Structure 1
Amino acid sequence: MIIIPARLASTRFANKILADIGGIPMFIKTAKLASKCDEVAIACDDEAIAQIATKFGIKAIMTSKEHNSGTDRINEAAKKLNLNSDDIVINLQADEPFFEEKNLIKFKDFTTQRIKDGAFMTSCLKFTSYEEAKNPNLVKVITDKDDYAIYFSRSLIPYPRSRCDLYKAHIGIYGYSVDTLARFCSLTTKELENIEKLEQLRALSSGKNIAMLEINSSSIGIDTIEDLQAAANKFGFTSTLLR
């Protein structure tokens, strides 16, 4: 199942999940994409968001406003949906309305296999340029020889003391079983997570492994109004926020 966390508050882009993408709220466009691949639910913290989801025929689960991360919100939704402990849950961020259907299917299959093989959770990466990697809103990841994540950061990693032209950019999608999702949310190692504001660091700090899938993707995650403009230029849609 794909669960999309849809928190209304956002520090960098106010109410960004409602951003107009060609006449459709961003989180709805993301959900419609996801619904081509699996059953979808929106995990939200505001009744207005639930009403919009229902209007578009998307299942909405109300969750607490007190959650500090999207994964904690998804865990509550999974419990309310009475999913089995070995069911696979895909956490697709509401700000990824252009994540390709083929890559979502590929990631679901990857997660199913890697969780079965013993991975704690999964995520995605793609290669990006040095110039793009300098943007702190673009999270970088380094991996080991078996494609497990070593660290995620908003800073440049590795630091280019010598020439480094390509970086691994993290894509905001995660996979777990219902069981490992619950175990993630019980972890208390939040020091690095709180510093970088990257929830996946909670797992790494506890010695849990994150299997990374490399994909080719032209998707743009919408973190800022500048990202929205870049996406509009690239994918050719209009938005009332850009007029």
Structure 2
Amino acid sequence: MKILGVIPARYKSSRFPGKPLADIHGKPMIAYVYENAMKVSQFDKVLIATDDERIASECNRRGMSFVMTSTEHETGTDRMAEVAEKHEADFYVNIQGDEPLVSPDTIESALQPIISSNNFDVINLMAEISDASDLVNSTIPKVVVNESGEAIFFSRSPIPYPKSKRPKYYKQVCVYVFKRDALLRFASLARGAIEQSEDIEILRFLENRMTVKMVEVHEDSVAVDTAADLEVVKNILTNRKKLK
């Protein structure tokens, strides 16, 4: 069984251009993600998938493995599908290039269902929401699952609605495991109405009756979408150093 770790990294983020190369205590953000991914023993290889020569140059400088991909991809999952076409494996693990705090243990949690079951197309992580601000933050997708732990729906709105009883709320943690055929099928499908409305690419799998297995984790991460998020990450890392 071959498992490939892939870190999609594009330069032209609308909210934060050049984000993968953003400096965090003297090191680019993408290097933190790559170093964490390299600690996952189950990976046969880790690749940064980029469309920009500036990121490729930094990868070369730091000895980080990478693959050049098209500049035309609408989503990170489309970029993953191109990697699947070029590099054959059984499973592809997407580690977001803008989550420098994601730990090897969290990544490994997404791999557990591979051992116990084959009844999925995609595996995704989720964490219970403890901060009320996360619940109303539209940049954080929320998820509801069925009794088998499979995703029913993802939304940027708080779901489910607490009409009679306040439920537990869960947010998506952006580590994914894809089967190769699921990735290739994703790339062949048009964006559906719900995906376009919510702008959450994993909905394409649900709209096409594919199974997304959710795994709960208890360690949170911070996605860097803005310069303010970057400062939060810097402060967390500074505090961690003080505790050592």
Query: TM-score of the superposition, structure 2-length normalised?
Result: 0.89
> Post-superposition shift, 1:78?
2.3
The worse-fitting range, judged by mean Cα deviation, of 187-196 and 90-99 is 187-196
Distance 1:2 1:19 in 2: 22
Identity value in percent: 35
Aligned residue number for residue 150 of structure 2: 148
* Cα distance, 1:233–1:162 mapped onto 2, change above 3 Å: farther
Whether 1:121 aligns to 2:132 is: no
Cα deviations across residues 86-112 of structure 1 (Å, max 9, x unaligned)? x111011101111111121222233x2
Asked if structure 2 preserves the Cα contact closer than 8 Å seen for 1:62 and 1:77, the reply is no
Aligned residue number for residue 242 of structure 2: none
Aligned residue number for residue 171 of structure 1: 173
> Post-superposition shift, 1:162?
4.2
> Post-superposition shift, 1:188?
2.3
> Post-superposition shift, 1:46?
0.8
Cα deviations across residues 45-83 of structure 1 (Å, max 9, x unaligned)? 1111111112111111111100001111111122222x1
Whether 1:187 aligns to 2:189 is: yes
Whether 1:80 aligns to 2:81 is: no
Secondary structure at the counterpart of residue 159 of structure 1: coil
Asked if structure 2 preserves the Cα contact closer than 8 Å seen for 1:7 and 1:45, the reply is yes
Query: TM-score of the superposition, structure 1-length normalised?
Result: 0.89
Whether 1:66 aligns to 2:72 is: yes
5+ long unaligned stretches in structure 2 = 240-244
Asked if structure 2 preserves the Cα contact closer than 8 Å seen for 1:3 and 1:41, the reply is yes
Asked if structure 1 preserves the Cα contact closer than 8 Å seen for 2:143 and 2:154, the reply is yes
Cα deviations across residues 14-57 of structure 1 (Å, max 9, x unaligned)? 22222212211111210111011122101101111111112111
RMSD: 1.9
Distance 2:133 2:162 in 1: 12
Aligned pairs, how many? 233
Q: What amino acid sits opposite 2:62 in the alignment?
A: F
Asked if structure 2 preserves the Cα contact closer than 8 Å seen for 1:189 and 1:205, the reply is no
The worse-fitting range, judged by mean Cα deviation, of 47-56 and 218-227 is 218-227
Whether 1:12 aligns to 2:15 is: yes
Secondary structure at the counterpart of residue 58 of structure 1: coil
